[in-house]
Amino acid sequence: MLKITQRMIAKEAGVSVNTVSRALNNKPDINPTTRRKILKIAKELGYVPNLLAKSLKSGETKTIGVIVSNLFNPFFGPVVYGIDEKIRKKGYSIIICNSDSDYKREEEAIATLVKKRVDGILITPVKRSSLDASFLEKTKIPCVLMMSQFKAKNFDYVGFDDKMGTFLATEHLIKKGHKKILYLSGPPSFSLSQDRLIGYKRALNKYGIKIEKSLIRSVTPKLEEGYKVVKELLSKKFDFTAIVAFNDYIALGAMKAIFEHNLKIPDDIALVGHDDIEFASLATVPLTTVRLPKHLLGEKAAEILLSKMKGQKKKAQHFLLKPELVIREST
């Protein structure tokens, strides 16, 4: 395949290579008619700019790395869309990496993005490890955390008020008369798992309900894991009448297990999720859940990162977006 160069475009347009370069790089000191002519010829010839050469010259690759904990979870679609909307306007593109909630894969993803010389990184950390935090600081690549944090608080962070989210979910069930409420928590290594567990406990404490360790189970945030755990619990003698899940995926897995035991939702067991993914309202029994402004999270994180990349933000900023309880038929 013939590689089209600026010299070929210059010859076709009857201008200098320098003029072609100025036109392609949108420089102001060029006649508008000449610019249009050059751009038209470049398009007709199929010219593709050498981004590697550009990055070596400018020190920028015009790419941003995004590391998410579970690409299979539709929760991240609106988040990434919000990021893309924000950065695309500034001429950047995205490289997406999936850690699959695995710390080793997260480390590999960070190393890959550093090797690719991305201009900034957005990450949902799997662990609160100081190792990744230290490594990212040493690279000097601007970084913003999303949803979960490192132990070090000197990173910019955009997340949700997760304590409030599970508090609202648990309080809703308590007001419905439930006192034995099973909480399917996320992995304890996630800072948001810890915050959501705090919200659950706060609601129980507020209404004078005893916190029982047997009613708190850590679950990998996947549909099949929610199904397995609840199926196992229902196969034995159980006394809970309601479930609050760490996310909608776990809740939907729990819903399947409940149905397989010929139990009714919410008559036998009430169920609340967290995130309000698209499938939540389309479930066999539409799921009561905690709605999170996912698109806004992506936009805000990208906005902060772009500012950091320009050197405008020095002090670490922490933003918590407000959740909203959406009541449907599952409660």
- What backbone torsions phi and psi does residue 103 show, to the nearest 5 degrees? -65, -40
Check whether residue 249 and residue 278 sit in a common domain.
yes
Check whether residue 238 and residue 272 sit in a common domain.
yes
Determine the pLDDT at residue 58: 52
Contact predicate 100/70, CB 8 Å: yes
Check whether residue 42 and residue 86 sit in a common domain.
no
Total tally of structural domains belonging to the chain: 3
Give the CATH number, domain containing residue 239.
3.40.50.2300
Please indicate, yes or no, if residue 54 is contained in any of the structural domains.
no
Please indicate, yes or no, if residue 1 is contained in any of the structural domains.
no
Tally of CA atoms within 13 A in the half-sphere of 215 that contains its CB: 20
**Residue 115 and residue 136: Cα distance in Å, rounded?**
12
Determine the pLDDT at residue 222: 86
Please indicate, yes or no, if residue 246 is contained in any of the structural domains.
yes
Check whether residue 121 and residue 20 sit in a common domain.
no
Determine the pLDDT at residue 2: 62
Check whether residue 218 and residue 152 sit in a common domain.
no
| Amino acid in the structure at residue 266 | P
Determine the pLDDT at residue 166: 98
For helices 248-260 and 223-234, give the axis angle rounded to 10 degrees. Answer: 40
Determine the pLDDT at residue 59: 56
Contact predicate 169/201, CB 8 Å: no
Check whether residue 268 and residue 232 sit in a common domain.
yes
Give the helix/strand (H/E) hosting 76. helix 76-88
Domain span holding position 87: 59-160+294-321
Check whether residue 238 and residue 141 sit in a common domain.
no
**Residue 17 and residue 8: Cα distance in Å, rounded?**
9
Determine the pLDDT at residue 128: 61
Check whether residue 146 and residue 267 sit in a common domain.
no
Please indicate, yes or no, if residue 326 is contained in any of the structural domains.
no
Determine the pLDDT at residue 313: 66
How high is the mean pLDDT in each 10-residue block of the chain (331 residues)? Answer: 78 90 85 90 80 56 91 91 94 92 86 89 80 75 89 85 98 97 92 94 98 95 93 94 97 97 97 95 97 97 93 83 98 97
Determine the pLDDT at residue 129: 60
Check whether residue 42 and residue 151 sit in a common domain.
no
- The residues pairing with 290 across neighbouring beta strands, listed in sequence order, are 325
| ∠ CA 115-148-83, rounded to 5° | 60
- What backbone torsions phi and psi does residue 185 show, to the nearest 5 degrees? -85, 160
Check whether residue 120 and residue 198 sit in a common domain.
no
Determine the pLDDT at residue 54: 57
